[in-house]
Amino acid sequence: MNATIPSAQIAVVDDDAGFRSAMLLLLDAEALPAVAFDSPVAFLAEHETATFDVVISDVQMPGLSGFELIEAIDRGHRSVPVILITGRLEADLDTKAQACGAFALLRKPIEAASLLEWLHKALTDDTCNERDNPGSERVHRPD
């Protein structure tokens, strides 16, 4: 699948070391450069000087949530699509993700092919980089 995904720098933000490692292995297997961060605060410090094309972030983390991370990115006027990942099942998470401008909300367990498909969409969707319509119907809802 790596032939169809454009070259990109991806940030993985998750407090779970095992999940971060698994994500890095998947992205490396697809020849997609990625950097892992153990917290939104660590990511935001790096995001000041580095450019990422897509952020994959957990929803629930100590300190800032994935929703708050998106708000912080927006406050810094650094437009980047964010794919949120969660193991939580609450129905209102879809609404929150849509309201804050998440590109997608995926629920664990995540199939590699599905995540790669959403990465491709985030990297090739010109409108997601503009973040001009955070209430759009972009948030993925599981079947």
Which residue has 């759009």 as its token pair? Answer: 136
Full domain range(s) for residue 29: 10-129
d(CA 125, CA 103): 10
Residue 135 lies in a domain: no
Question: What are the percentages of helix, strand and coil residues in the chain, rounded to 5?
Answer: 40, 15, 45
Residue 142 lies in a domain: no
Please count the structural domains in the chain.
1
pTM: 0.85
pLDDT of residue 131: 40
For the stretch 81-129, pLDDT in tens is 999 999 998 889 999 999 999 999 999 999 999 999 999 999 988 665 4
Query: Where in the chain does DSSP place strands (E)?
Result: 10-13, 34-37, 54-58, 82-86, 104-107
